[in-house]
Amino acid sequence: MRSIREDIQALIEDILELAEKDARIVLTFDKDFGELAFCFNLPASYGIVLFRIPLLSVDYVTDIIIEVMKSRSDWAGHFSVVEPGRIRMRKL
CA atoms within 13 A on the CB side of 36: 18
User: For residue 63, what pLDDT is reported?
Assistant: 95
The amino acid sitting at 34 is: G
- Say if CB 65 and CB 51 are below 8 A apart: yes
Q: Where are the domains of the chain?
A: 4-91
pTM of the model: 0.80
Kindly state the average pLDDT of the residues 63-84. 93
Could you tell me which of 80, 54, 55, 56 has the C-alpha nearest to residue 68? 80
User: For residue 15, what pLDDT is reported?
Assistant: 81
* Mean pLDDT for all residues in the chain: 83
pLDDT in tens, 35-65: 766 666 656 677 889 999 999 999 999 999 9
User: For residue 65, what pLDDT is reported?
Assistant: 95
